[in-house]
Amino acid sequence: MKDITIRSDKQKNIIYIDKLNYEIQNFESNYIKEHYNINQFDDAKLNKILEKIKQFKKNNTLPDNIFWKDLHKFSSKSGGFRTIKNRREIYSFILETLGRKPEYKLIPSKPTQEQINSYDTVIKNDCKRSVLYSLIKNNDKFKKYQSNKNDVEKDENQKVIEVYINELMEFTKESLGNYEYFNYFQGYQEICLYFMVIFGREEGVKYMTLFSKIYLDYVLSKKYKINFDMLLDILNECCNIVNKKVNTLINKITKTKPYYSLSWLITYLTHSNDNIYNQMSLLDYFITSNISHMYFLSANIIVSEFNKIGTKFNIYTADEEYTYMELFFQHFQKLKVSLIDYEIIIKKNEKINQNLFNEIISNMIKNAKNENDKGTLILLNKNIHDTSIFEYHSLKSQIINIIIVFILLLIVKKLFF
Protein backbone atom coordinates (compact mmCIF):
# COMPACT_ATOMS: atom_id res chain seq x y z
CA MET A 1 0.00 0.00 0.00
CA LYS A 2 2.84 2.38 0.88
CA ASP A 3 4.52 1.70 -2.48
CA ILE A 4 1.29 2.47 -4.34
CA THR A 5 0.93 5.76 -2.42
CA ILE A 6 4.52 6.78 -3.22
CA ARG A 7 4.01 5.94 -6.88
CA SER A 8 0.76 7.88 -6.94
CA ASP A 9 2.39 10.98 -5.43
CA LYS A 10 5.23 10.71 -7.93
CA GLN A 11 2.78 10.52 -10.82
CA LYS A 12 0.93 13.58 -9.52
CA ASN A 13 4.20 15.50 -9.31
CA ILE A 14 5.08 14.57 -12.88
CA ILE A 15 1.67 15.89 -13.98
CA TYR A 16 2.46 19.22 -12.30
CA ILE A 17 5.84 19.35 -14.01
CA ASP A 18 4.32 18.52 -17.38
CA LYS A 19 1.75 21.26 -16.80
CA LEU A 20 4.34 24.00 -16.38
CA ASN A 21 6.51 22.61 -19.18
CA TYR A 22 3.45 22.64 -21.44
CA GLU A 23 2.81 26.30 -20.59
CA ILE A 24 6.42 27.17 -21.42
CA GLN A 25 6.17 25.45 -24.80
CA ASN A 26 2.88 27.21 -25.55
CA PHE A 27 4.42 30.64 -24.96
CA GLU A 28 7.50 29.73 -26.93
CA SER A 29 6.01 30.07 -30.43
CA ASN A 30 4.78 33.60 -29.72
CA TYR A 31 8.14 34.61 -28.29
CA ILE A 32 9.91 33.31 -31.40
CA LYS A 33 7.65 35.31 -33.70
CA GLU A 34 8.11 38.50 -31.66
CA HIS A 35 11.87 38.35 -31.12
CA TYR A 36 13.57 36.32 -33.84
CA ASN A 37 14.00 37.10 -37.49
CA ILE A 38 13.41 33.73 -39.11
CA ASN A 39 13.19 33.12 -42.86
CA GLN A 40 12.16 30.18 -45.04
CA PHE A 41 15.79 29.40 -45.88
CA ASP A 42 16.56 28.85 -42.19
CA ASP A 43 13.42 26.73 -41.82
CA ALA A 44 14.57 24.48 -44.64
CA LYS A 45 18.07 24.23 -43.19
CA LEU A 46 16.80 23.28 -39.75
CA ASN A 47 14.44 20.68 -41.21
CA LYS A 48 17.36 19.23 -43.16
CA ILE A 49 19.40 18.93 -39.94
CA LEU A 50 16.51 17.19 -38.16
CA GLU A 51 16.00 14.84 -41.11
CA LYS A 52 19.70 13.92 -41.11
CA ILE A 53 19.52 13.14 -37.39
CA LYS A 54 16.61 10.79 -38.04
CA GLN A 55 18.63 9.03 -40.73
CA PHE A 56 21.70 8.71 -38.50
CA LYS A 57 19.54 7.17 -35.78
CA LYS A 58 17.73 4.86 -38.19
CA ASN A 59 20.94 3.57 -39.80
CA ASN A 60 22.92 3.67 -36.55
CA THR A 61 25.66 5.69 -38.27
CA LEU A 62 27.83 8.56 -37.07
CA PRO A 63 27.83 12.02 -38.71
CA ASP A 64 30.85 13.50 -40.42
CA ASN A 65 32.58 16.79 -39.56
CA ILE A 66 30.53 18.71 -42.12
CA PHE A 67 27.34 17.85 -40.26
CA TRP A 68 28.80 19.01 -36.91
CA LYS A 69 30.02 22.20 -38.54
CA ASP A 70 26.56 22.92 -39.99
CA LEU A 71 24.92 22.13 -36.65
CA HIS A 72 27.22 24.51 -34.76
CA LYS A 73 26.78 27.23 -37.36
CA PHE A 74 23.01 26.98 -37.14
CA SER A 75 23.10 27.10 -33.32
CA SER A 76 24.70 30.55 -33.53
CA LYS A 77 21.74 31.95 -35.47
CA SER A 78 18.99 34.04 -33.89
CA GLY A 79 16.85 31.78 -31.71
CA GLY A 80 19.15 28.78 -32.13
CA PHE A 81 17.14 25.57 -32.56
CA ARG A 82 14.00 27.59 -31.73
CA THR A 83 11.70 25.07 -30.12
CA ILE A 84 11.86 22.70 -27.17
CA LYS A 85 10.74 19.90 -29.47
CA ASN A 86 13.71 20.50 -31.77
CA ARG A 87 16.07 20.70 -28.81
CA ARG A 88 14.81 17.38 -27.51
CA GLU A 89 15.80 15.75 -30.79
CA ILE A 90 19.11 17.54 -31.26
CA TYR A 91 20.40 17.49 -27.66
CA SER A 92 19.61 13.81 -27.21
CA PHE A 93 21.41 13.00 -30.46
CA ILE A 94 24.51 15.02 -29.53
CA LEU A 95 24.74 13.57 -26.03
CA GLU A 96 24.08 9.98 -27.08
CA THR A 97 26.62 10.23 -29.92
CA LEU A 98 29.36 11.66 -27.69
CA GLY A 99 28.35 9.34 -24.87
CA ARG A 100 29.38 6.32 -26.94
CA LYS A 101 33.02 7.10 -26.27
CA PRO A 102 34.52 4.78 -23.63
CA GLU A 103 36.13 7.71 -21.80
CA TYR A 104 32.67 8.95 -20.87
CA LYS A 105 31.88 5.81 -18.93
CA LEU A 106 30.55 6.69 -15.48
CA ILE A 107 32.61 5.26 -12.64
CA PRO A 108 30.71 5.21 -9.33
CA SER A 109 32.35 6.04 -6.01
CA LYS A 110 30.41 5.80 -2.76
CA PRO A 111 30.05 9.15 -0.94
CA THR A 112 30.20 9.36 2.85
CA GLN A 113 27.03 10.08 4.79
CA GLU A 114 28.55 13.41 5.80
CA GLN A 115 29.00 14.37 2.13
CA ILE A 116 25.44 13.28 1.33
CA ASN A 117 23.98 15.38 4.15
CA SER A 118 26.09 18.39 3.24
CA TYR A 119 25.19 18.30 -0.47
CA ASP A 120 21.50 17.64 0.29
CA THR A 121 21.32 20.78 2.43
CA VAL A 122 23.09 22.98 -0.12
CA ILE A 123 20.97 21.71 -3.04
CA LYS A 124 17.78 22.27 -1.09
CA ASN A 125 18.72 25.89 -0.36
CA ASP A 126 19.94 26.51 -3.91
CA CYS A 127 16.76 25.17 -5.48
CA LYS A 128 14.67 27.39 -3.23
CA ARG A 129 16.50 30.35 -4.79
CA SER A 130 16.14 28.94 -8.29
CA VAL A 131 16.03 31.21 -11.32
CA LEU A 132 12.62 29.59 -11.99
CA TYR A 133 11.05 32.16 -9.65
CA SER A 134 12.44 35.10 -11.60
CA LEU A 135 11.55 33.40 -14.90
CA ILE A 136 7.92 33.37 -13.82
CA LYS A 137 7.99 36.75 -12.08
CA ASN A 138 9.54 38.56 -15.07
CA ASN A 139 7.47 36.90 -17.77
CA ASP A 140 4.09 38.45 -18.55
CA LYS A 141 2.95 35.16 -20.07
CA PHE A 142 3.11 33.55 -16.61
CA LYS A 143 0.89 36.15 -14.96
CA LYS A 144 -1.63 33.55 -13.93
CA TYR A 145 1.03 32.00 -11.69
CA GLN A 146 1.28 35.33 -9.88
CA SER A 147 -2.42 36.20 -9.85
CA ASN A 148 -4.01 37.18 -6.53
CA LYS A 149 -7.55 37.65 -7.86
CA ASN A 150 -8.56 34.06 -7.27
CA ASP A 151 -7.19 32.45 -4.10
CA VAL A 152 -8.01 28.94 -5.27
CA GLU A 153 -6.19 29.47 -8.58
CA LYS A 154 -3.32 31.16 -6.80
CA ASP A 155 -2.93 28.22 -4.40
CA GLU A 156 -2.98 25.76 -7.29
CA ASN A 157 -0.41 27.71 -9.27
CA GLN A 158 1.81 28.08 -6.22
CA LYS A 159 1.59 24.32 -5.72
CA VAL A 160 2.79 23.75 -9.31
CA ILE A 161 5.87 25.88 -8.60
CA GLU A 162 6.57 24.25 -5.23
CA VAL A 163 6.28 20.76 -6.70
CA TYR A 164 8.56 21.78 -9.56
CA ILE A 165 11.20 23.07 -7.13
CA ASN A 166 10.99 19.94 -4.94
CA GLU A 167 11.35 17.71 -7.98
CA LEU A 168 14.26 19.87 -9.19
CA MET A 169 16.05 18.98 -5.95
CA GLU A 170 15.61 15.28 -6.63
CA PHE A 171 16.43 15.72 -10.31
CA THR A 172 19.71 17.44 -9.41
CA LYS A 173 20.73 14.69 -6.99
CA GLU A 174 19.84 11.92 -9.41
CA SER A 175 21.75 13.50 -12.30
CA LEU A 176 24.83 13.47 -10.03
CA GLY A 177 24.22 9.76 -9.45
CA ASN A 178 23.21 10.67 -5.89
CA TYR A 179 26.84 11.87 -5.53
CA GLU A 180 28.30 8.56 -6.67
CA TYR A 181 29.37 9.99 -10.06
CA PHE A 182 29.97 13.66 -9.33
CA ASN A 183 30.42 16.29 -6.65
CA TYR A 184 27.97 19.20 -6.54
CA PHE A 185 28.71 22.89 -7.06
CA GLN A 186 26.33 25.78 -6.44
CA GLY A 187 24.57 26.75 -9.65
CA TYR A 188 24.53 23.27 -11.15
CA GLN A 189 20.82 23.01 -10.31
CA GLU A 190 20.05 25.84 -12.76
CA ILE A 191 21.40 23.83 -15.70
CA CYS A 192 19.32 20.91 -14.42
CA LEU A 193 16.24 23.15 -14.58
CA TYR A 194 16.60 23.54 -18.35
CA PHE A 195 17.07 19.84 -18.91
CA MET A 196 13.93 19.24 -16.85
CA VAL A 197 12.04 21.76 -19.01
CA ILE A 198 13.28 20.23 -22.27
CA PHE A 199 13.11 16.51 -21.46
CA GLY A 200 10.76 16.27 -18.51
CA ARG A 201 11.41 14.85 -15.06
CA GLU A 202 12.45 11.26 -15.81
CA GLU A 203 14.17 11.35 -19.19
CA GLY A 204 15.92 14.60 -18.33
CA VAL A 205 18.07 12.95 -15.62
CA LYS A 206 19.64 10.63 -18.18
CA TYR A 207 20.66 13.47 -20.49
CA MET A 208 21.76 15.79 -17.69
CA THR A 209 24.07 13.05 -16.41
CA LEU A 210 25.56 12.68 -19.89
CA PHE A 211 25.94 16.45 -20.21
CA SER A 212 27.70 16.53 -16.84
CA LYS A 213 30.20 13.87 -17.84
CA ILE A 214 30.96 15.30 -21.28
CA TYR A 215 30.97 19.05 -20.56
CA LEU A 216 31.34 19.53 -16.80
CA ASP A 217 33.56 16.71 -15.59
CA TYR A 218 36.45 19.06 -14.78
CA VAL A 219 34.34 20.99 -12.23
CA LEU A 220 32.26 18.05 -10.96
CA SER A 221 35.11 15.54 -10.65
CA LYS A 222 35.18 13.43 -7.51
CA LYS A 223 38.92 13.01 -7.92
CA TYR A 224 39.92 16.68 -7.84
CA LYS A 225 38.73 19.68 -5.86
CA ILE A 226 38.01 22.50 -8.25
CA ASN A 227 40.19 25.59 -7.94
CA PHE A 228 37.89 28.43 -8.97
CA ASP A 229 40.78 30.93 -8.92
CA MET A 230 42.45 28.85 -11.60
CA LEU A 231 39.35 29.03 -13.80
CA LEU A 232 39.43 32.81 -13.48
CA ASP A 233 43.10 32.79 -14.50
CA ILE A 234 42.08 30.91 -17.65
CA LEU A 235 39.32 33.46 -18.29
CA ASN A 236 41.78 36.31 -17.80
CA GLU A 237 44.03 34.81 -20.49
CA CYS A 238 41.00 34.56 -22.79
CA CYS A 239 40.30 38.26 -22.15
CA ASN A 240 43.87 39.01 -23.23
CA ILE A 241 43.25 37.19 -26.50
CA VAL A 242 39.99 39.07 -27.08
CA ASN A 243 41.58 42.46 -26.38
CA LYS A 244 44.83 42.65 -24.42
CA LYS A 245 44.88 46.43 -24.23
CA VAL A 246 41.41 46.63 -22.69
CA ASN A 247 42.03 43.72 -20.34
CA THR A 248 45.26 45.28 -19.10
CA LEU A 249 43.25 48.37 -18.18
CA ILE A 250 40.55 46.23 -16.53
CA ASN A 251 43.18 44.47 -14.41
CA LYS A 252 44.71 47.82 -13.48
CA ILE A 253 41.35 49.23 -12.39
CA THR A 254 39.98 46.18 -10.54
CA LYS A 255 43.26 44.85 -9.09
CA THR A 256 41.60 41.46 -8.78
CA LYS A 257 40.37 38.48 -10.76
CA PRO A 258 37.00 38.62 -12.58
CA TYR A 259 35.04 36.95 -9.76
CA TYR A 260 31.82 38.60 -10.98
CA SER A 261 31.89 36.24 -14.00
CA LEU A 262 32.59 32.94 -12.23
CA SER A 263 28.93 31.91 -12.26
CA TRP A 264 28.84 32.41 -16.04
CA LEU A 265 31.58 29.84 -16.52
CA ILE A 266 30.26 27.06 -14.31
CA THR A 267 26.54 27.43 -15.06
CA TYR A 268 26.61 28.36 -18.75
CA LEU A 269 25.06 31.70 -17.74
CA THR A 270 21.85 30.02 -16.53
CA HIS A 271 22.25 31.38 -13.00
CA SER A 272 21.94 35.02 -14.03
CA ASN A 273 19.52 34.79 -16.94
CA ASP A 274 15.82 35.37 -16.29
CA ASN A 275 14.76 34.94 -19.93
CA ILE A 276 14.06 31.26 -20.52
CA TYR A 277 14.00 31.41 -24.34
CA ASN A 278 17.11 33.57 -24.53
CA GLN A 279 18.90 31.05 -22.30
CA MET A 280 17.79 28.09 -24.37
CA SER A 281 19.29 29.71 -27.45
CA LEU A 282 22.56 30.07 -25.54
CA LEU A 283 22.46 26.41 -24.52
CA ASP A 284 21.99 25.52 -28.20
CA TYR A 285 25.23 27.31 -28.94
CA PHE A 286 27.16 25.80 -26.03
CA ILE A 287 26.06 22.21 -26.54
CA THR A 288 27.36 22.33 -30.12
CA SER A 289 30.61 23.95 -28.99
CA ASN A 290 33.88 23.20 -27.33
CA ILE A 291 34.32 24.36 -23.73
CA SER A 292 36.61 27.07 -25.12
CA HIS A 293 33.59 28.84 -26.64
CA MET A 294 32.12 29.31 -23.15
CA TYR A 295 35.29 30.95 -21.84
CA PHE A 296 35.81 33.16 -24.87
CA LEU A 297 32.15 34.20 -24.89
CA SER A 298 32.46 35.26 -21.23
CA ALA A 299 35.64 37.15 -22.11
CA ASN A 300 33.84 38.90 -24.97
CA ILE A 301 31.06 39.95 -22.59
CA ILE A 302 33.58 41.39 -20.12
CA VAL A 303 35.41 43.39 -22.82
CA SER A 304 32.17 44.50 -24.48
CA GLU A 305 30.60 45.69 -21.20
CA PHE A 306 33.79 47.46 -20.15
CA ASN A 307 33.85 49.30 -23.47
CA LYS A 308 30.37 50.62 -22.64
CA ILE A 309 31.65 52.01 -19.33
CA GLY A 310 34.79 53.33 -20.95
CA THR A 311 32.88 55.24 -23.61
CA LYS A 312 30.43 56.69 -21.11
CA PHE A 313 32.96 57.84 -18.51
CA ASN A 314 36.03 58.42 -20.65
CA ILE A 315 38.02 55.85 -18.67
CA TYR A 316 40.57 55.38 -21.44
CA THR A 317 42.05 58.85 -20.94
CA ALA A 318 41.88 58.88 -17.15
CA ASP A 319 45.18 59.36 -15.32
CA GLU A 320 44.01 57.60 -12.18
CA GLU A 321 42.20 54.50 -13.38
CA TYR A 322 41.80 53.05 -9.88
CA THR A 323 39.16 55.67 -9.11
CA TYR A 324 36.86 53.76 -11.46
CA MET A 325 37.04 50.47 -9.54
CA GLU A 326 33.71 51.02 -7.78
CA LEU A 327 32.05 52.09 -11.03
CA PHE A 328 33.29 48.92 -12.72
CA PHE A 329 32.02 46.53 -10.04
CA GLN A 330 28.67 48.31 -9.76
CA HIS A 331 28.15 47.90 -13.48
CA PHE A 332 28.77 44.14 -13.39
CA GLN A 333 26.77 43.63 -10.20
CA LYS A 334 23.73 45.30 -11.80
CA LEU A 335 24.30 43.71 -15.20
CA LYS A 336 21.20 41.93 -16.50
CA VAL A 337 22.60 39.01 -18.41
CA SER A 338 19.26 38.49 -20.16
CA LEU A 339 19.60 41.92 -21.84
CA ILE A 340 23.03 41.31 -23.37
CA ASP A 341 22.95 41.17 -27.17
CA TYR A 342 24.22 37.62 -27.56
CA GLU A 343 23.96 37.60 -31.32
CA ILE A 344 26.67 40.26 -31.54
CA ILE A 345 28.78 38.55 -28.84
CA ILE A 346 28.50 35.16 -30.58
CA LYS A 347 29.54 36.68 -33.91
CA LYS A 348 32.66 38.06 -32.21
CA ASN A 349 33.21 34.70 -30.56
CA GLU A 350 33.14 32.85 -33.85
CA LYS A 351 36.01 34.95 -35.16
CA ILE A 352 38.39 33.72 -32.45
CA ASN A 353 40.74 30.83 -33.13
CA GLN A 354 39.54 28.37 -30.49
CA ASN A 355 42.85 26.49 -30.66
CA LEU A 356 44.38 29.34 -28.67
CA PHE A 357 42.46 27.97 -25.69
CA ASN A 358 44.40 24.70 -26.02
CA GLU A 359 47.64 26.68 -25.74
CA ILE A 360 46.44 28.40 -22.57
CA ILE A 361 45.57 25.07 -20.93
CA SER A 362 48.76 23.33 -22.09
CA ASN A 363 50.92 26.12 -20.65
CA MET A 364 49.02 26.04 -17.37
CA ILE A 365 49.46 22.25 -17.11
CA LYS A 366 53.23 22.71 -17.47
CA ASN A 367 53.24 25.35 -14.72
CA ALA A 368 50.68 23.75 -12.38
CA LYS A 369 51.68 24.21 -8.73
CA ASN A 370 50.12 20.99 -7.43
CA GLU A 371 48.64 17.69 -8.59
CA ASN A 372 45.08 18.79 -7.86
CA ASP A 373 45.29 21.74 -10.27
CA LYS A 374 47.18 19.68 -12.82
CA GLY A 375 44.54 16.94 -12.66
CA THR A 376 41.71 19.45 -13.16
CA LEU A 377 43.50 21.04 -16.12
CA ILE A 378 44.14 17.62 -17.68
CA LEU A 379 40.40 16.87 -17.39
CA LEU A 380 39.68 20.23 -19.01
CA ASN A 381 42.24 19.49 -21.72
CA LYS A 382 40.62 16.09 -22.27
CA ASN A 383 37.30 17.83 -22.65
CA ILE A 384 38.78 20.00 -25.38
CA HIS A 385 40.10 17.11 -27.41
CA ASP A 386 37.18 14.77 -26.78
CA THR A 387 34.71 17.27 -28.19
CA SER A 388 36.94 18.01 -31.16
CA ILE A 389 34.10 17.13 -33.52
CA PHE A 390 32.91 20.67 -32.88
CA GLU A 391 36.27 22.25 -33.67
CA TYR A 392 35.70 23.26 -37.22
CA HIS A 393 38.25 26.09 -37.16
CA SER A 394 41.10 23.69 -37.93
CA LEU A 395 39.12 22.25 -40.86
CA LYS A 396 38.48 25.77 -42.10
CA SER A 397 42.21 26.52 -41.87
CA GLN A 398 43.04 23.40 -43.86
CA ILE A 399 40.64 24.41 -46.63
CA ILE A 400 42.15 27.92 -46.73
CA ASN A 401 45.66 26.43 -46.93
CA ILE A 402 44.61 24.16 -49.80
CA ILE A 403 43.17 27.15 -51.69
CA ILE A 404 46.36 29.16 -51.13
CA VAL A 405 48.55 26.28 -52.40
CA PHE A 406 46.29 25.92 -55.44
CA ILE A 407 46.57 29.65 -56.24
CA LEU A 408 50.35 29.53 -55.86
CA LEU A 409 50.55 26.58 -58.22
CA LEU A 410 48.53 28.49 -60.79
CA ILE A 411 50.86 31.50 -60.44
CA VAL A 412 53.95 29.31 -60.81
CA LYS A 413 52.45 27.58 -63.82
CA LYS A 414 51.68 30.95 -65.46
CA LEU A 415 55.17 32.31 -64.79
CA PHE A 416 57.26 29.37 -65.92
CA PHE A 417 55.18 27.45 -68.46
C-alpha to C-alpha distance for 56 and 94, rounded to whole angstroms: 11
**What is this structure's pTM?**
0.88
Query: pLDDT by residue (tens digit) across 406-415?
Result: 565 565 455 5
C-alpha to C-alpha distance for 223 and 8, rounded to whole angstroms: 39
Sites in the chain below the pLDDT cut of 70:
1-8, 147-154, 311-323, 383-417
Sign, CA dihedral 51-195-105-363, equals positive
Phi-psi region of 178 (alpha: psi -120 to 50; beta: other; left: phi over 0): left
Q: What is the pLDDT of residue 392?
A: 38
Which of 345, 360, 370, 340 lies closest to 291, judged by CA? 360
C-alpha to C-alpha distance for 234 and 192, rounded to whole angstroms: 25
For residue 347, how many C-alpha atoms fall within 13 Å in the half-sphere facing its CB?
7
Q: What is the pLDDT of residue 108?
A: 95
Rounded to a whole number, what is the largest CA-CA distance in the chain? 92
Query: CB under 8 Å, gap of 24 or more: what pairs does 204-210 form?
Result: 204/171, 204/175, 205/171, 205/174, 205/175, 207/91, 207/92, 207/95, 208/171, 208/175, 209/106, 209/174, 209/175, 209/176, 209/177, 209/181, 210/95, 210/96, 210/98, 210/99, 210/104
Query: pLDDT by residue (tens digit) across 91-102?
Result: 999 999 999 999
Phi-psi region of 415 (alpha: psi -120 to 50; beta: other; left: phi over 0): alpha
C-alpha to C-alpha distance for 37 and 49, rounded to whole angstroms: 19
C-alpha to C-alpha distance for 263 and 259, rounded to whole angstroms: 8
Q: What is the pLDDT of residue 398?
A: 47
